Amino acid sequence: MQQYSVPRLITKLLLPLILLFALYVQFHGDFGPGGGFQAGVIFAAGFVLYALVYGLDNARRIMPPWLLRVGVSLGVLIYAGVGVAGMLLGGAFLDYGVLDSHDPVHGQHLGILLVELGVGITVASVMISIFYAFAGRGR
């Protein structure tokens, strides 16, 4: 796709908006539709678009496969870690109410935010890794 300047330019314009929208969906999931899963997929879609237009090698340079492999497991670890943290603070597994010692509702907020972040990281990394696997295989 080196010779098509219009898709390259449009991608350059769209990419920050896509990634910003993914972050918005991620952290605004408490208030509007969306959440970690959707945000992860949108974030991955942004990278897929970049890789399609600018080539797989450039995409690999920005988001190297080792980072993705860390991300795939990091998200699940964050999720389970929030659950274990709740247990250490004296609650049940995945009971976010104890995360804030003063106000259980604040604890719920914090827990949901962290858990959704974990889901988002895992889903985005998984989608990009699968895309790398498919796109890298054909060459």
Partner 1 sequence: MLLSLLVVTALAVIRLRDLFAVVMLFGIYSLLSASLFVVLDAVDVAFTEASVGAGVATVFMLGTLALTTSREKTPGAHKPLLPLLVVLVTGAALIYGTSDIPHYGDPGNPIHQHVAPRYLEDSAEEIGIPNVVSSVLASYRGYDTLGETTVVFTAAIGVLLLIGGARRRRRSEEPPRPDREEEDA
The residues that touch partner 1, with contacts defined as CB under 8 A, are 25, 29-35, 37-38, 41-42, 44-45, 48, 52, 65, 69, 72-73, 75-76, 79-80, 83, 94, 96, 104-106, 108-109, 111-112, 115-116, 118-119, 122-123, 125-127, 129-138
Least gap, CB of 79 to partner 1 (angstroms): 5
- Closest to 35 measured CA to CA, from 127, 128, 113: 113
Q: Give the orientation angle of helix 5-27 with respect to helix 36-54, to 10 degrees.
A: 170
Nearer to partner 1, 8 or 114 (CB): 114
Min separation Cβ 32 and partner 1, Å: 6
- Cα gap 75→67, rounded to integer Å: 12
- Residue 69 C-beta: closest distance to partner 1, Å: 8
CA–CA dist 64, 130 (Å, integer): 13
79 CB-near residues (< 8 Å, 6+ apart): 114, 115, 118, 119, 122
* Helical pair 65-88 and 104-137, crossing angle rounded to 10 deg: 160
Kindly state the smallest distance separating residue 1's Cβ from partner 1, in Å: 14
Backbone region of residue 55 per phi and psi (left: phi > 0; alpha: psi in -120 to 50; beta: other values):
left
Q: Which is nearer to partner 1, 8 or 65 (CB)?
A: 65
CB of 112 to partner 1, least distance (A): 4
